[in-house]
Structure 1
Amino acid sequence: MVASTRIFTPIKEDLNILNSNLKKMVGARHPILYAAAEHLFTAGGKRIRPSIVLLVAKATAPHNILKSEHRRLAEITEIIHTASLVHDDVLDDCNTRRGIQTVHSTFSTKIAVLAGDFLFAQSSWYLANLGDLEVVKIISKVITDFAEGEVRQSLTSFDPDISIDNYMEKSFYKTASLIAASCKGAATISNIDTSSQHDFYLYGKHLGLAFQIIDDILDVTGSTELLGKPAGSDLKNGNLTAPILFALDECPELYHLIDREFQNSGDNQKAIQLIQQTSGIQKAQDLAREHAQTSLEALSNKYECEAIHTLKLISNYVIDRIN
């Protein structure tokens, strides 16, 4: 398995600049809001999304030299992602994230909602100040997509009849939309042709879908330490993902557990054991590999450079997470 930290070595200094700028950008006048925002960025995270933005920017910019607008877009992308996590944790009643207490468990649910709103507002302000209307249009739709994804997830909670297609649509709204849009936004700032912009959009879309499917697999097979949040939380919250949807075809007993919403003691663990006895996880892995491969195909006609090579490594890293 390729270590994620090694993948990002070519942009290590750019990520240091990003981390420094993020702390300056989220400064709030009210001490509580500032403390909540600082709490989030102190927790760190892999910074995969802004890393992808920086790499697309380097791959498309003249002489591979980043513009200040590229850097700002990477920062905006991470702020939007972090804002969505704050709201996700409230909706899922998740007490830990990235190994530390979540905002709503550290402060309160009200503060967490306000902190998430504040971060979305900050990202919108910085986005408007990029001065590129096309990029504003591309990125602003992402925030709408987040809401669409959350509504769809809420309406299908504990519903075993949702299709894989519906699951994939929800996964696009919740995860892939931001990665796809920010890839296209970086290419747009570089002023490359629209066909190539679309290729980078497809790269981000399919990478994002693969990433979400792998996350959902790890929720069944992984540890809390690996996930950065409690394992099995998807099942507990009625979020039926690819592994369990595939497993339902082979294991009717899962329907009974879903019907009683995993309320009995040990239901969650029993469901995980039943899923692991089916081919549900393998089928979900195959689906993730298909999307990772499609992301690589989107880059197949791109000239070779270090940034493109690194973007390809990221697609492979996503799959390596389950090996």
Structure 2
Amino acid sequence: MPSNLSDSATEQRSAVPATSTPPAPAGKADLLPGLALCAVGALLAMGIGRLLPTVSPLLIAIVGGAVMANLVKLPARLRPGLTFSSKRLLRVGIALLGLQLMFSDILGLGWGVIAVVVAIVVLGIAGTMYAGKLLGLSWTQRVLIACGFSICGAAAVAAADGVVNAKEEELLTAVALVVIFGTLMIPTVPLLASLFGLSNLDAGMWAGGSIHEVAQVVAAGTAIGGGALAVATVVKLARVLMLAPVMAYLSLHTRRTSGASSADVKRPPLVPLFTVAFLGCVALRSTGLLPDAFLDVAKLVQTALLTAAMFALGSSVHVSVIRGVGPRPFVLAALSTVWVATIALVGVLIVG
């Protein structure tokens, strides 16, 4: 993993207060109002997603939660359930995402494509971290944007936040940027692929290697047509698989730089539990023993959990907060999008 992730131990420690006392855990009754709201939001988003199959329910949920939060002042009693959904439910959903992957599908891409996928993630993160440093952004903000744009969108942003403990406005900004720039990529990649004269399969590989969210990749692959969707999805899921080693690396880095001599600093585990669960789900799916009916139900549950989590994240997005972060995160998001897409295109041209 690139050394750019290790710019400043002091900067990393500043993101994790050493003397703060963690709040008392919320009781089950305290969680219910917020959980109920997230359940309603997820059901609405998934229902709209069925009517508009080219639009991800996760993106609908993020936008819906943000619209609600900016139009209505949410009661304080909703916050414990919303926080639980945006953290705990999200991690369970990420773990279940592993049931969509099989090691054989990834290996079936060939070692050339696998090398391209690794290059996209590693160089994408390294380049984004370096550009963000030049722009003067915090280490944690750079990490969130780098992971979201190089791996798998909002899920990667939230997963990275669970390891590096970024500020709330940094998390929400990174999620909003994934939605904005990933959505813009849906029509852009098919259009540019046509202008560049790429075959449908090469265009699908480029879409899977460059677009942020899985659902956004599916939308672009569908627009390209001619078998592009299948290869786009598998290449994207190969990038999702990179979530595990990147989170493990971030966890180790955070442990090293969070003040090992201070007993007051809560350090993350060597390997996050949801990362282990994610890999376990991939291994379980790869056995071929799980029936299709079970996988269908698991996918529905995973989508519901991630949609509820994204609704909770969206409910914390306030226009005033996004406006207050200034233009630099948007500049980094644009640079990262172009950088990752360029790496993916060069890789496609080499192995295609």
Q: Tell me which of the two structures has the higher relative contact order, counting C-alpha pairs closer than 8 angstroms and 6 or more residues apart.
A: 2
TM more than 0.5: no
TM-score (ref. length: structure 2): 0.26
